[in-house]
Structure 1
Amino acid sequence: MLTVRRRVTAAVAVILGGSLLLTSCGGSDSGSADGKTLRLWHYEGPDSAMGAAWNEAVKEFEATHPGVRVKFEEKGFEQIQKTAPMVLNSSDAPDLLEYNKGNATAGQLSKQGLLTDLTAEAAERGWDKKLSAGVRTTSRYDTDGVMGSGKWYGVPNYAEYTMVFYNKDLLGKYGIAEPKTLDELTAAMDTFVAKGITPLANAGAEYVAQQYLYQLALTKADRSWVDSYELYKGRNDFHDAAWTYAANTFADWVKKGYISKKSTGAKAEDAGVSFIQGKAPILFSGSWWFGRFRTEAKFDWSTFLWPGTNLTLGSGGNLWVVPEGSANKDLAYDFIDITMSKKIQNLLGNKGGVPVAADPDAITDPRSKSLIADFNTLSSKDGLAFYPDWPVTGFYDVLVSETQKLITGSEKPDDFLTALQKAYDKGVPGQ
């Protein structure tokens, strides 16, 4: 993903980015190498697990670095996404920022020489040892900007993955047990449709719809299939059995009423709110919703991994990257180190995040324990399959527009797959 933010905080952050800056961008100490200021950008809401953990990391950093202050600027995801290449190539570059992972984002910046090589720091500080193989994938990029090998250009200090969120109260009301198989999930959706309820919360204008599609494909895929698609280790064929099944099944689900035809213009926030309000009994989405649902949902809810496969969407979280033009790189490395500490990792876990280096015994919240346990299960099975928009630059927008056509029925599955193949092949390096 993400070429567009798969975070609940995105819409809020875009609005707040200009109004809640703790300090303005630039200024007299912009780019100052005085060793007394760490300029930090990130886009996590203060109430999110990551935001809470990183606020604590700021306090820890300043306590352990007397005379040094953190000059934090809250940015929106889209704001950083659209301006990063320009800003990082200027004197306004911060010392450290959160940035999106994947070939089309961090990979492109590393290829353009805008990010600092963190390989030596990762080894010296032990970051490489704290991250599992699946999580490490998005930290390293080769000379073509393709993730999975080469030098370290970013460090994720949390992880994320997708799951099925379901309203236990609504399922109970209609006598539906928690689905354990895809057939049982389908039967549950049939029951809801018969009661006049659209079972799946969806957002055709943003990432949610394409993630349903990709997860359906993953039920017919294996690791080599993922590597071909995401890492170019073999040719990706959008007319293969997995993609064909996904497109046909998705279109069929729309016809059956599992997914609303009116959801083409809905955004991720709309999908999440429809679940929070108890209107949609099921949402397939990511762990980034977990903390918010725990706070705002007024009914009993739970989660399960998508049935019938060991693969689901997920990866290490967004990356801490150090711009090549950072004036205080050593301070940036120290801050990353603090966010990887047990103290901050444990806090992140208890706030509803998915830490990468926490002490399991320190996580006391029952739901958080379950969230982390499911992630560990996925990680141990090499089950993180990344996100559908990652492989090539601009593919997110293609997936949005083409998936919208599947929802409206204006494009047949075969034509949909042909359009994806054309856009994908155009963006693969060396094609």
Structure 2
Amino acid sequence: MSTTRRRVVATAAAALAGTLLLASCGGSDSGSSDGKTLKLWHYEAPDSAMGAAWNEAIKEFERTHPGVRVKFEDKGFEQIQKTAPMVLNSSDAPDLMEYNKGNATAGTLSKQGLLTDLTAEATKRGWDKKLSAGVRTTSEYDTNGVMGSGKWYGVPNYAEYTMVFYNKDLFKKYGIAEPTTLDELTAAMDKFVAKGITPLANAGAEYVAHQYLYQLALTKADRAWVDSYELYQGKTDFHDAAWTYGAETFADWVKKGYIGKKSTSLKAEDAGVSFIQGKSPILFSGSWWYGRFKAENTFDWGTFLWPDTDLTLGSGGNLWVVPKSAENKDLAYDFIDITMSKKIQNLLGNKGGVPVAADPAAVSDPQAKSLIADFNTLSDQDGLAFYPDWPVAGFYDVLVSETQKLITGSEDPDGYLSALQEAYDKGAPKT
């Protein structure tokens, strides 16, 4: 989950909070379009908030477009991440696709000419009015594929942020209070280890592991540090105090048993299921899990923002992008409109998502209200720090492979940071 903004975006987090108050109109009725098919790809689990909302959007689309069939293909996040450039250069491209936002992903595809310029549609259909400046950050890319300005190449219709999910029943069982500081979180993990329990659900083969490390670095960082790293507004030194603390603390947490050494080959799904099954008392990950945990967890659970810092990973959500070679672009635009409607946005909020165009009064679920309230807290303190894999193309794979080495102990923190520096410098724009 995991690209760059101009100085105007420095207030992105605060602006994001306002998007929850925005209303939007429904999708257009295109009338009969006999024989046409909208080919749609996304990677949201059907029981997630986004999956439930997009499934309802498909029904609404087919109701308002008689004669049009939606051909939905469920694609994995990793699958789309790795194959998108090749697929979009072929006749197999879908009409509409969910894709990861950021310089390294949507920005790269836009620079390669593989995505449709949505600027005119954004103005015509009012997407530019429905999304705040903060959310729009990941919609717009310049000629270098850097986010925050330029043309529209994608539309996010939810927001996301990371948090600590914790199993209240397990905390209660072992007499551990909810942590409010990083020291208390560390003490809680020590107690679980003493009971033979690995406290943190982790996934070394995908994004979960390096998001732990990035969050640790953020506890020693500030907004200028984030802007330097994500926006190239200054030089990024991976051996600075923040990155060094993140790498050394992560490696130390592995040694202390907070993170399992056998988690190297696990994927995000494994980490989530470990939490769902009550095996791991803690998971640090994103709001994209919220709806699923709400549906599947059979124990009392809660969330809190990472303690002792104003910064955490987050942004507008993944993007709807329209491939340049799409055959039915107007139908794709209509579907985006429907996902931005009050009906779908309200559903998204009540299912545990963070909507960007909902009627706040229509979000009635107590846990959903809590989710949105924490997001507003984070937004108000300008706390969205994007994701560590965003700055340069290919950096996601570097982060995964190098963080795996930290888990196995085959590389020390200094070597890890040097490898990141080399990959980052190679991919960052030359100034």
Counterparts of 1:129 and 1:376 in 2: how far apart (Å)? 20
SS in 1 for 2:373: helix
Counterparts of 1:262 and 1:86 in 2: how far apart (Å)? 33
Task: Give CA deviations for 1:33-90 in whole Å, capped at 9, x if unaligned.
Answer: 9894322222223222212211211222222233333233333333333332232223
Task: Give CA deviations for 1:393-415 in whole Å, capped at 9, x if unaligned.
Answer: 11112112211222222222112
Given the two structures, how large is their TM-score scaled by the length of structure 2?
A: 0.89
- What is the CA distance between 1:329 and its match in structure 2? 2.0
Counterparts of 2:207 and 2:223 in 1: how far apart (Å)? 22
* Matching residue of 2:76: 76
* Matching residue of 2:140: 140
Partner amino acid, structure 1, of 2:419: A
2:360 maps to 1:360: yes
Counterparts of 1:304 and 1:353 in 2: how far apart (Å)? 16
SS in 2 for 1:105: helix
Is the 2:338–2:344 contact (alpha carbons within 8 Å) kept by the matching residues of 1? yes
- What is the CA distance between 1:257 and its match in structure 2? 1.8
Is the 2:49–2:290 contact (alpha carbons within 8 Å) kept by the matching residues of 1? no
Task: Give CA deviations for 1:108-166 in whole Å, capped at 9, x if unaligned.
Answer: 11001111111222223222232233322111111011111111100011121110011
Is the 2:340–2:357 contact (alpha carbons within 8 Å) kept by the matching residues of 1? yes
Counterparts of 1:204 and 1:81 in 2: how far apart (Å)? 17
Is the 2:49–2:292 contact (alpha carbons within 8 Å) kept by the matching residues of 1? no
Counterparts of 1:66 and 1:293 in 2: how far apart (Å)? 35
Is the 2:35–2:67 contact (alpha carbons within 8 Å) kept by the matching residues of 1? no
Counterparts of 1:313 and 1:226 in 2: how far apart (Å)? 10
Bigger relative CO (Cα 8 Å, ≥ 6 apart): 2
* Matching residue of 1:40: 40
Counterparts of 1:86 and 1:149 in 2: how far apart (Å)? 26
- Write out aligned runs for 1:116-155 (5 A): 116-155=116-155
* Matching residue of 1:113: 113
Is the 2:47–2:295 contact (alpha carbons within 8 Å) kept by the matching residues of 1? no
* Matching residue of 1:320: 320
* Matching residue of 1:403: 403
* Matching residue of 2:102: 102
* Matching residue of 2:429: 429
Is the 1:182–1:308 contact (alpha carbons within 8 Å) kept by the matching residues of 2? yes
* Matching residue of 1:231: 231
Is the 2:139–2:153 contact (alpha carbons within 8 Å) kept by the matching residues of 1? yes
Q: Which stretch of the first structure deviates more once superposed, 248-257 or 141-150?
A: 248-257
SS in 2 for 1:138: coil
SS in 2 for 1:308: coil
Is the 1:238–1:418 contact (alpha carbons within 8 Å) kept by the matching residues of 2? yes
Q: Which stretch of the first structure deviates more once superposed, 92-101 or 336-345?
A: 92-101
Q: Unaligned 5+ residue runs, structure 2?
A: 4-32
Is the 1:35–1:328 contact (alpha carbons within 8 Å) kept by the matching residues of 2? no
Counterparts of 2:275 and 2:75 in 1: how far apart (Å)? 27
Is the 1:206–1:267 contact (alpha carbons within 8 Å) kept by the matching residues of 2? yes
Counterparts of 2:237 and 2:261 in 1: how far apart (Å)? 28
Counterparts of 2:71 and 2:208 in 1: how far apart (Å)? 34
Is the 1:132–1:379 contact (alpha carbons within 8 Å) kept by the matching residues of 2? no
Partner amino acid, structure 2, of 1:424: Y
Distance 1:68 1:197, change over 3 A: closer
Counterparts of 1:75 and 1:408 in 2: how far apart (Å)? 30
Counterparts of 1:215 and 1:344 in 2: how far apart (Å)? 32
* Matching residue of 2:307: 307
CA RMSD of the aligned region, Å? 1.9
Q: Which stretch of the first structure deviates more once superposed, 48-57 or 58-67?
A: 58-67
Q: Unaligned 5+ residue runs, structure 1?
A: 4-32
* Matching residue of 2:220: 220
Given the two structures, how large is their TM-score scaled by the length of structure 1?
A: 0.89
Distance 1:405 1:2, change over 3 A: same
2:212 maps to 1:199: no
SS in 2 for 1:164: strand
Counterparts of 2:291 and 2:214 in 1: how far apart (Å)? 24
Partner amino acid, structure 2, of 1:38: L
Counterparts of 1:393 and 1:403 in 2: how far apart (Å)? 17
SS in 1 for 2:155: coil
Is the 1:222–1:311 contact (alpha carbons within 8 Å) kept by the matching residues of 2? yes
Partner amino acid, structure 2, of 1:364: S
Is the 1:35–1:331 contact (alpha carbons within 8 Å) kept by the matching residues of 2? no
Counterparts of 1:72 and 1:276 in 2: how far apart (Å)? 27
* Matching residue of 2:24: none
Partner amino acid, structure 1, of 2:150: G
Distance 1:45 1:197, change over 3 A: closer
Partner amino acid, structure 1, of 2:103: N
Partner amino acid, structure 1, of 2:160: E
Counterparts of 2:335 and 2:216 in 1: how far apart (Å)? 39
- Write out aligned runs for 1:334-353 (5 A): 334-353=334-353
Counterparts of 1:143 and 1:230 in 2: how far apart (Å)? 17
Task: Give CA deviations for 1:3-59 in whole Å, capped at 9, x if unaligned.
Answer: 9xxxxxxxxxxxxxxxxxxxxxxxxxxxxx989432222222322221221121122
* Matching residue of 2:383: 383
Counterparts of 1:328 and 1:261 in 2: how far apart (Å)? 48
* Matching residue of 2:282: 282
- What is the CA distance between 1:241 and its match in structure 2? 1.1
Matched residue count: 402
Partner amino acid, structure 2, of 1:193: V
Partner amino acid, structure 2, of 1:258: Y
Q: Which stretch of the first structure deviates more once superposed, 67-76 or 280-289?
A: 67-76
Is the 2:199–2:259 contact (alpha carbons within 8 Å) kept by the matching residues of 1? yes
- What is the CA distance between 1:224 and its match in structure 2? 1.7
Percent identity, aligned pairs only? 86
Distance 1:237 1:344, change over 3 A: same
Distance 1:355 1:176, change over 3 A: same
Counterparts of 2:75 and 2:404 in 1: how far apart (Å)? 29
